[in-house]
């Protein structure tokens, strides 16, 4: 091989190796952003100040809200969208963040699912509309378990975004009342509501739908759900499941 061809080959090799290095650098940046987002979201729920969160994560307090958005909506605000590499990134997030969310003692956020399936799995009677198809009640729900005591906390609703389905007595047509709310219950043999004052939350914070009289209660169901799980996780000191790993975890 002549000198010119050898030099060309070496330049090509150098270019290829550098491209791989830059890809790994970008992959590490994406991973760091998603982990920082999950941590910022968890610490914000625990009511730490943005200054304290920024110091813990090594970022400016002005970046904390941006990171919280990544923690809540990773595929919307995070650098790793739903492309072919996202499953790999999600698994890497789980490797680092997962042990926090799955401790060996105390309360653990064990499941995020739909209200219909979570209620059905825990023998909670469903409205007639969802008796045959519990998955039709697709509003979000969560389950928390205490590894030491066997206690369980359920966060769920029996309504969808349009509230209850009711039959109009005059027209006999199915109508919606556009009123829904979340339940937070402790399971210790039976089910009982957790006093909301213990959680620092009110019934109004758990309501959703445009049928409520007060404008502040007319939030969407996802906001009401986040209010509910944030209250539980803050009171019991529970790390959230990383939203970026939901549906992608290796187990």
The pLDDT assigned to 189 comes to 82
The pLDDT assigned to 13 comes to 93
The pLDDT assigned to 201 comes to 96
Average pLDDT of the residues in 3-17: 92
Q: pLDDT tens digit string along 201-228?
A: 999 999 999 999 888 888 999 999 999 9
Average pLDDT of the residues in 238-245: 83
Lowest mean pLDDT among 4-18, 145-159, 232-246: 232-246
Average pLDDT of the residues in 71-83: 79
27 vs 148: which has the higher pLDDT: 148
The pLDDT assigned to 247 comes to 47
For 150: left if phi > 0, alpha if psi spans -120 to 50, otherwise beta; the answer is left
Q: pLDDT tens digit string along 109-154?
A: 999 999 999 999 999 999 888 888 999 999 999 999 999 999 999 9
Please say if the pLDDT value at position 84 is more than 70: no
Average pLDDT of the residues in 82-100: 81
The pLDDT assigned to 245 comes to 64
The pLDDT assigned to 170 comes to 74
Strand partners, 55: none
Helix %, strand %, coil % of the chain (to 5) = 50, 20, 30
Helices (H) and strands (E) in the chain, counts: 8, 8
Q: How confident is the model at residue 197 (pLDDT cuts 50, 70, 90)?
A: very high
The predicted model scores a pTM of 0.85
Contact predicate 206/224, CB 8 Å: yes
The pLDDT assigned to 250 comes to 46
The pLDDT assigned to 17 comes to 94
Token representation of residue 235 = 């009171």
Backbone angles phi, psi at 167, to 5 degrees: -95, 125
Token representation of residue 90 = 């999600």
Please say if the pLDDT value at position 79 is more than 50: yes
Q: What percent of the chain has pLDDT over 70?
A: 94
The whole-angstrom separation of Cα 199 and Cα 203 is 11
The whole-angstrom separation of Cα 213 and Cα 216 is 9
């Amino acid at each position: 091989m002549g000198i010119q061809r050898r030099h060309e080959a070496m330049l090509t090799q150098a270019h290829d190796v550098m491209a791989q290095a830059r890809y790994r650098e970008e992959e590490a940046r994406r991973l760091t952003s998603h982990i920082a987002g999950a941590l910022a979201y968890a610490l914000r729920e625990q009511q730490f100040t943005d200054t304290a969160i920024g110091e813990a994560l090594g970022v400016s307090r002005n970046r904390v809200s941006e990171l919280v958005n990544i923690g809540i909506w990773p595929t919307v605000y995070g650098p790793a969208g739903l492309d072919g590499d996202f499953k790999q990134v999600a698994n890497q997030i789980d490797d680092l963040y997962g042990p926090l969310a799955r401790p060996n003692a105390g309360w653990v956020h064990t499941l995020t699912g739909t209200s219909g399936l979570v209620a059905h799995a825990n023998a909670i009677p469903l409205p007639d509309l969802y008796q045959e198809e519990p998955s039709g009640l697709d509003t979000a729900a969560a389950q928390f378990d205490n590894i030491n005591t066997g206690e369980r906390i359920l966060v769920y609703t029996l309504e969808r975004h349009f509230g209850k389905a009711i039959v109009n007595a005059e027209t006999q047509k199915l109508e919606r009342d556009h009123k829904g709310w979340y339940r937070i219950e402790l399971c210790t043999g039976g089910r009982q509501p957790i006093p909301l004052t213990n959680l620092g939350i009110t019934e109004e914070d758990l309501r959703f739908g445009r049928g409520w009289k007060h404008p502040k209660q007319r939030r969407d169901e996802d906001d009401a759900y986040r209010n509910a799980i944030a209250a539980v996780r803050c009171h019991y000191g529970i790390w959230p499941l990383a939203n970026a790993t939901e549906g992608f975890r290796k187990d």
